[in-house]
Amino acid sequence: MTKLSTLQLCQILSYVEYFDLKHFLQINHKCQHICNHLIQVQCLERNLTSVNIPIHSLYLTPSILNGDSANDEFTTFDYKQLTQLSNNSTLKALCFSYNATTEYHLLSNIIRQLPAHSLTKIDLGTYDIGEENIIKYATLIGTTQTSLKSLTFWKDPGKNERFSGPREVEMFSNLVECENLRCFVWSPSFVSMQKLSALNIFYHLDTFNDSVNDLKKLPNLCSLILRSTTISQFSSIHRVSELSQLTYLNITGTQIVKDPGVFSLDKCTNLKHISFYYIDSISEEIFNILKYSSKFYIQLQLYSVPLENQQFAPFNLTGIQFDPKRIFILHMTMIQRKIKSRFAKALFNRFQQWPPNLYFKGYLTFDVTDIHKCIGISDSLVRLEFHFIQQLLNLKSVNSFSYLTSLSIRHCRIKTEEPIPLNGLISLKRLYISDCDNVQLLSISDITGLTSFTLKDQTCFTPLLPHLIELTNLKQIVLSNIRIVTDNDIEFLILLDNIRHYTFDENSVFQEKEKYFATPTRTVSFVTRQD
């Protein structure tokens, strides 16, 4: 048997969508998961023998990402290889990558090879292929895998954003053992899931309030995540306060409701944690939540948007008494709002913290120096993103954030005429750059701990190659919509021995050189480019 390390096995062994696959390779007994990378044809060329060890969890990446119903060319998968699963009673979880849609025949052929009612977990999604076709998915799962304890079934709404009705998912009512459910619509038939303890559900307009009577019949329901299909519109969820059994409530995926009834949280006698958006354009609503800080922990996601007159609501919390130790600000998104010293001081003084995730979007001019001047921010910031900024000034100021692990710069004009040192980013692991100028002046090689680099929508990446060779910890590179790629560029990337995974556009020049990128210690994926 060919000897490979556990790490190498995790990287290269999975199902594959190639015509010339002749053997089904299974995972080493030291690994309980198969990574969601495609196995490479080169593995077969190197005569890797079949490893016949049972697997516990199967992770797949379908060939079509965010597909549309007009495209029926899903996969070249040889379904005969699935017969290897028929005797596998140890497989308990079947998961598809969250950035992919799942073609029905692929799902059906996999499930029908498994022993009936053997899975305990399924994660998958589909684009909107219409009511009757989605019923097929629900029927397949609801009739063949009734022992599921966890089901995630999401739907990409597509351009039409069609709202699904309860009829589409009624067959899930057979999953009486289910404890954790994420679904794009609620069905009254779900009350049969008496063991359900965690629910992540979408609702349309005011339909949530109509479902509360059903939710009351679920005695074990303690965690509820609500997401609105029309977040830009106000819709009431005031009856959520009637669910007294809840211990965790997350309404970040909704517009903050304006009816006072939703804040009658005293009725939720078991509630300990709540997570929600605070949009300061309607800042008076935060008063009704923060007064409960003595009773339960509050997680805030601050979101600042300009009013119709392009002004911002005043940030005024001086009259509120709350315990900062029971409030956690997860992230803050600022749209066009400058961080003035008065605002920054008021925020930090009241909450005694800065959010670890900061996003700045839609500015004509933004000076990064304004951020690091804020008291306390250098000790807490771990993720920073700049989006759609016409003049991004003093980017070198990010060096003051020594705990930063992720930096993203998208659709920005970086104003500089000199190289920008990045040697202060000693904790940075992920760098994402898309549609920016002066990228060649970024001293990326200064970021010695960088493990993942993404570059999208650029003219070329040739000037960055000398930096990449110096990054010995770099493991993953993603390149998308690079307009000029030379043979020397490709050859350079192939010779980067430390890289463990490449992601390129489907039908790109990189795919023509696929056999050179894929090795037993390195994988490569080709995905549909998203505009």
**Contact (CB, 8 A) for 409 and 435:** no
State the pLDDT confidence band at 93, using cuts at 50, 70 and 90: confident
State the pLDDT confidence band at 292, using cuts at 50, 70 and 90: confident
- Residues 91-100: what's their mean pLDDT? 68
**Contact (CB, 8 A) for 109 and 80:** no
State the pLDDT confidence band at 393, using cuts at 50, 70 and 90: very high
The three-state secondary structure class of 439 is helix
SS (H, E, C) 371-425: HHCCCCHHHCCCEEEEEEEEEEECHHHHHHCCCCCEEEEEEEEECCCCCECCCCC
Reported as a single tens digit per residue, the pLDDT across 163-204 is 788 999 999 999 999 999 999 899 999 999 999 999 999 888
pLDDT at position 27 is 32
**Contact (CB, 8 A) for 101 and 530:** no
Weakest mean pLDDT among 30-39, 46-55, 303-312, 320-329: 30-39
pLDDT higher than threshold 90 for residue 458: yes
- E strands, 322-356, are 327-335
Q: What is the CA radius of gyration of the chain?
A: 25
Q: CA dist 187 to 168, 226, 296, Å?
A: 9, 15, 30
Weakest mean pLDDT among 84-98, 110-124, 162-176, 413-427: 84-98
pLDDT at position 13 is 37
The three-state secondary structure class of 143 is helix
State the pLDDT confidence band at 205, using cuts at 50, 70 and 90: confident
pLDDT higher than threshold 90 for residue 160: no
Q: CA dist 507 to 18, 20, 163, 479, 529, Å?
A: 15, 19, 33, 13, 10
CB-count exposure of residue 57 (10 Å: 0-12, 13-18, 19+): middle
More confident residue, 479 or 234: 479
pLDDT higher than threshold 70 for residue 530: no
Reported as a single tens digit per residue, the pLDDT across 373-388 is 888 888 889 999 999 9
> Percent of the chain at pLDDT above 70?
74
Weakest mean pLDDT among 43-57, 188-202, 306-320, 452-466: 43-57
pLDDT at position 433 is 97
Q: CA dist 383 to 274, 358, 370, 398, Å?
A: 22, 6, 16, 11
Phi, psi of 515 (to 5 degrees): -65, -20
Q: Residue 70 corresponds to which tokens in the numbers above?
A: 């007009």
Q: CA dist 119 to 28, 89, 116, 142, 348, Å?
A: 20, 9, 8, 12, 48
The three-state secondary structure class of 21 is coil
pLDDT at position 342 is 77
pLDDT at position 496 is 92
pLDDT at position 255 is 64
Q: In this structure, how many other beta carbons lie within 10 angstroms of the beta carbon of residue 452? A: 16
Enumerate the domain spans of the chain.
Answer: 1-173, 356-425, 451-531
State the pLDDT confidence band at 61, using cuts at 50, 70 and 90: low
pLDDT higher than threshold 70 for residue 24: no
pLDDT at position 2 is 33
Query: Mean pLDDT score of the chain, rounded to an integer?
Result: 78
**Which distant-in-sequence residues (6+ apart) come within 8 Å of 78 by Cβ?**
19, 21
**What torsion do the CA atoms of 242, 248, 252, 253 make, to the nearest 10 degrees?**
-70
Weakest mean pLDDT among 261-270, 409-418, 509-518: 261-270
Reported as a single tens digit per residue, the pLDDT across 72-87 is 333 334 445 455 566 6
pLDDT higher than threshold 90 for residue 47: no
pLDDT at position 232 is 62
Reported as a single tens digit per residue, the pLDDT across 237-258 is 888 889 989 999 988 777 665 5
pLDDT at position 3 is 33
